[in-house]
A = this chain, B = another copy of it.
Amino acid sequence: MKTIHTHIALLAVAIAGLAHIQAQDPLPAWNDGPAKKAITAFVGKVTKEGSSDFVPPAGRIATFDNDGTLWAEQPMYFQMLFALHRVGVLAPQHPEWKDKEPFASLLKGDVKAALAGGEKAMLEIVMATHAGMTTAEFEQVVREWIATAEHPKFKKPLIECVYQPMVELLAYLRANGFKTFIVSGGGIEFMRPWTEKVYGIPPEQVIGSSIKTTYEMRDGKPVLVRLPEIDFIDDKTGKPAGINSHIGRRPIAAFGNSDGDQQMLEWTQAGGGARLMMLVHHDDAEREFAYGAESKIGTFSDALMAEAKKSSWEVISMKNDWKTIFAFEVSH
């Protein structure tokens, strides 16, 4: 009977938690406004039994872009900060990098010159720092780095540079029976070591770009070795493909912030029934960053803005819709 008692105790906690949720605003970091209203109205109708918009819990799938949607992405993608760090760590094993671009510029601290080589340079940096080790070794390297890595502007740990309103939104959706997924152009194995702790999203609900792996025996133990070969790019048209491959059903809510998310929102909207599509707009230079059509990172083009208007996608103004951006703002 011990099992039953344990369950009853857990259920009591769950009920207490629910009462707590009922009693207070589940989205305190959001200002009262159209974005917050769109969220609560949507959740209200898809969870209301008997409503024509009701969706059973199994169908409550919500997908979130990561960079620029759940955490910051300026002055550069955090995964690029990781790659640059790794170039420094690995340089002693690569004396040839001193004379070889993009590494030579990086080692002189000139990121701009290094990235002048465009996608080819980026790919070389990624492969040199993300491949050639086992999946377990890579996970360990990410874990160690993320534990101390700081944001260059905010001087806070990167894992604190997550948007408090979005963290609340994730929890609010889960409390309403949703399964929350990340669908990011970032590396799937770069995210998985920390998404559960930071967002409450377990590894099996993280979708991202990947490189190929190969299975082999080392000292009688099986390992998966990361190969310097692209497997999948989870961006733009890749996002619906990644959702199809990993989830196998269509989301009813999708959240992004840039041109790379347009197809995910289109794909979400094309399903029947109630849908919620939202785009975070970075318009707060004071508290975070202000960028959009002109930015190479997190481009929010005029075409995307036009599409959002045409398709009734909700644009979240960080400046107006978010009372708090980062939890550290209010913690001192």
Contact = CB atoms under 8 A, between A and B. Distances in A.
**Which has the most chain B C-beta neighbours within 10 Å: A179, A206, A210, A240?**
A240
B221 A240 contact: no
Contact of A245 (B1, B3, B210, B263): B210
Given A14-B7, A22-B1, A224 B247 contact: no
Given A4-B15, A7-B15, A204-B246, A266 B222 contact: yes
B215 A241 contact: yes
B3 A204 contact: no
Given A204-B247, A204-B249, A241-B224, A15 B19 contact: no
Contacts of A3: 18, 22
Give chain A's interface residue range (CB within 8 Å of chain B): 35 or more
A95 interface: no
Contacts of A7: 14-15, 18
Given A224-B241, A248-B188, A215 B270 contact: no
B1 A8 contact: no
Contact of A267 (B210, B222, B245): B222
Contacts of A11: 11, 14-15
Stoichiometry, as copies per complex, reads 2
A96 interface: no
Given A18-B4, A18-B7, A266-B222, A244 B58 contact: no
Interface in A191-220: 192, 196, 202-206, 210, 213-215
Given A14-B7, A196-B58, A222-B266, A189 B240 contact: no
Interface in A27-70: 58, 61
A148 interface: no
A201 B223 CA distance: 28
A167 to B, nearest CB: 19
A129 to B, nearest CB: 19
A237 interface: yes
A246 to B, nearest CB: 6
A204 B179 CA distance: 10
A48 to B, nearest CB: 10
B188 A214 contact: no
Given A7-B18, A11-B11, A196-B58, A204 B241 contact: no
A159 to B, nearest CB: 18
A203 B22 contact: no
A135 interface: yes
B270 A213 contact: no
Interface string A243-260: 011111100000000000
Contacts of A214: 237, 241
Interface string A157-196: 0000000000000000000000100000000110010001
A213 to B, nearest CB: 5
Interface of A: 1, 3-4, 7-8, 11, 14-15, 18-19, 22, 58, 61, 135, 179, 188-189, 192, 196, 202-206, 210, 213-215, 221-222, 224, 231, 237, 240-241, 244-249, 263, 266-267, 270
Given A204-B249, A221-B270, 18 more contacts: A3-B22, A4-B15, A4-B22, A11-B15, A58-B202, A188-B245, A188-B248, A203-B249, A204-B204, A204-B246, A204-B247, A206-B248, A210-B245, A213-B241, A213-B245, A214-B237, A215-B267, A222-B270
